[in-house]
Chain A
């Protein structure tokens, strides 16, 4: 089974509008972290936002917020007031907390976001 599932290969959003990028995850661990990264065409993975499994509040970082629904195992990224520079690939990732798991990140297949002027 896939650890991270991103079901939207591509999304379009009008400039200044909000957009939600979907992410579901699969783990049996109680402790884990969820991350979103942005990858522009230059290739670098840019960290956007983090949500810990024990965090009761949804994480927010500027225009980014994470809609964390633990029971549904979903961690959707919401980008408010989209800008042209937001056009990029977006990856959801999970890191399991058990010692000995290697602490690797499991990534989804990504969502390509295009902001339309």
Chain B
């Protein structure tokens, strides 16, 4: 497709369940980012991939959060044993070039996660 796609768009989970959120970046984009956006706030960085390498995971809030991009394209963000504070919109973004350059990130529509 032309843009970044994410699935599912909406996810409701019971507290304690595991969830997996998928991101399909723009074809050929080297860099991929995950952000968490709480209600009424700006997005906050979670993790960053350059191709299949996870170069920065400093924003992951706990060890319950895990992300992978095994073939350098599609990425999955997994949250284990979900908690209510995990409720947020999870945004994926991709950019064309490598780290160190100030190029534009293109965002997907996000996955709205609600933990009951």
B62 is an interface residue with CB less than 8 A from chain A: no
1/0 contact string of B45-75 vs chain A (CB within 8 Å): 1001000000110110000000000000000
A107 to chain B, nearest CB (A): 3
A43 to chain B, nearest CB (A): 5
Residues on B with C-beta less than 8 A from A14 are none
B99 contacts A107, CB within 8 Å? no
Give how many B residues have a beta carbon under 8 Å from the other chain's beta carbons. 30
A37 contacts B107, CB within 8 Å? yes
Nearest residue (CB) in B for A43 is B110
Please report which residues of chain B, range 65-99, place their CB below 8 angstroms from some CB of chain A when the two chains form the complex: 89, 91, 93, 99
Also in contact, A91 and B58, with CB within 8 A (given A43-B112, A97-B102): no
Using C-beta atoms within 8 Å of the partner chain, give the interface range for chain A.
20 to 34
Also in contact, A102 and B106, with CB within 8 A (given A43-B112, A45-B43, A108-B42): no
Please report which residues of chain A, range 57-112, place their CB below 8 angstroms from some CB of chain B when the two chains form the complex: 91, 93, 95, 97-100, 102-110
A59 to chain B, nearest CB (A): 12
Q: Which of A46, A47, A53, A109 contacts B42 (CB 8 A)?
A: A109
Residues on B with C-beta less than 8 A from A100 are 99
Residues on A with C-beta less than 8 A from B48 are 102-104
Residues on B with C-beta less than 8 A from A37 are 107
- Cα(A37)–Cα(B107), bound, Å: 10
A102 contacts B55, CB within 8 Å? yes
Q: Which of A4, A97, A103 contacts B31 (CB 8 A)?
A: A103
Residues on B with C-beta less than 8 A from A25 are none
B41 contacts A50, CB within 8 Å? no
Q: Given A31-B102, A95-B105, A97-B101, 16 more contacts at CB 8 Å?
A: A4-B42, A33-B102, A35-B104, A37-B107, A42-B109, A43-B112, A45-B91, A45-B93, A47-B104, A97-B102, A103-B48, A103-B101, A104-B59, A107-B35, A107-B44, A110-B41
State the 5 A-B residue pairs at the shortest beta-carbon distance, nearest first: A33-B102, A107-B42, A102-B56, A45-B107, A104-B45
- Interface residues, chain A, CB within 8 Å of chain B? 4, 31-33, 35, 37, 42-47, 50, 52-53, 91, 93, 95, 97-100, 102-110
